[in-house]
Structure 1
Amino acid sequence: MLIRPATDSDLALLPEIEVAAGEAFRALGMDAVADDAPPTVEELAAYQVDGRAWVAVDAADRPVGYALALEVDGGAHLEQVTVHPAAAGHRIGSALIDEVDRWAAGHGLAWLTLTTFVDVPWNAPYYDRLGFRAMAAETLPAGLRSIREHERAHGLDAWPRVTMRRAVGGTG
């Protein structure tokens, strides 16, 4: 498996990864999450042209996972980390996160942050194993508070969510 920056030709393939990965939420009664529209190619392009989109590719150079990052509050915010279920279980997600970590280090950013579901096994418990720790809601800086407000407005707080962070260069 190789992690590399996303290219223009990768972008059209990423929504299908998101849709496939979203299906796992149905087993938890989270159909609204599974039914949420994936990012559009145009939305993905905004990350890609800024060098904030990475893909994990198979031997045929076809994306099987991807990560998107933002710079928020002096840190790198993992906006999305998604792996196709057919490629799960091979540490692709952690490899994508490590790539974002290297990007963050190269940009002088101190933290990796993310928001995620508390009770979904491949969400908060997974990130905890990778060295991320929950942040108290009252301690969130302005940028992360804005992200959480946006998530609430889109109904994601129907299930418990948490903001997590780890130091750049940290591992799990």
Structure 2
Amino acid sequence: MIIRDATRPDLPRLQDIETAAGEVFRTLGMDAIADDEPPTVAELTRYADAGHAWVAVDEESGPAIAYLVGEPVDGAFHIEQVTVHPDAARRGVGRALVAYAADCARDRGLAGLTLTTFTDVPWNAPYYERLGFRRLAAAELTPGLRRIRAAEAAHGLDRWPRVCMRRDL
């Protein structure tokens, strides 16, 4: 497996990965998540152009099997999305992408990784806890994380319990 910067030709594939990975939420009765549109090419381009989008591939010229996008928020690198295609699940791909993001964040002088996720989805909060993230109490939320949570609530994601998490670097 190789992790590299996402390029513009990768971006439609990232949308396909997001759509395919969303289907598993149906098994938890979270059809609205499965039906949610993937990030637009314009949104993905913004991350890629900023150097904040990475893909995992099985070989250098092969198609992406997973991706991670994010951006600096309040002194940490905030992981907006990490998604693995179901065909590549349970191979350590997501873990490798998070480790890569941590290395990049550390190199850029950021103090940690943050993310928001569903608390009761096995491959969300419990998974990130195994990767060294901890749940943040409300008093620990930075202004940027509060803005992110407000945007998620406005998008309807609070129909299911969510949490902000952090991993110090």
Q: TM-score range by the shorter chain?
A: over 0.9
- Between the two proteins, the alignment pairs up a number of residues equal to 168
Match of 1:15 in 2: 15
Letter in 2 for 1:49: D
Match of 1:90 in 2: 91
Match of 2:78 in 1: 77
Counterparts of 1:155 and 1:137, CA distance in 2: 19
Equivalent residues in 2 for 1:41-120, closer than 5 Å: 41-59=41-59, 60-120=61-121
Letter in 1 for 2:34: A
Letter in 2 for 1:70: E
Counterparts of 2:147 and 2:42, CA distance in 1: 22
Match of 2:39 in 1: 39
Counterparts of 2:70 and 2:155, CA distance in 1: 20
Letter in 1 for 2:97: L
**What is the deviation of 1:139?**
2.0
Unaligned runs of 5+ in 1: none
The yes-or-no answer on 1:155 pairing with 2:148 is no
Match of 2:168 in 1: 167
Counterparts of 2:162 and 2:106, CA distance in 1: 27
Match of 2:137 in 1: 136
Which 4+ residue blocks in structure 1 deviate beyond 2 angstroms?
A: none
Counterparts of 1:81 and 1:146, CA distance in 2: 20
Residues 44-73 of structure 1: CA distance to partner in whole angstroms, max 9, x if unpaired? 000001100000012352100000011001
Counterparts of 1:108 and 1:127, CA distance in 2: 22
TM-score, length-scaled by structure 1: 0.96
> SS in structure 2 opposite 1:13?
helix
Counterparts of 2:82 and 2:164, CA distance in 1: 15
Counterparts of 1:165 and 1:147, CA distance in 2: 14
Counterparts of 2:29 and 2:15, CA distance in 1: 22
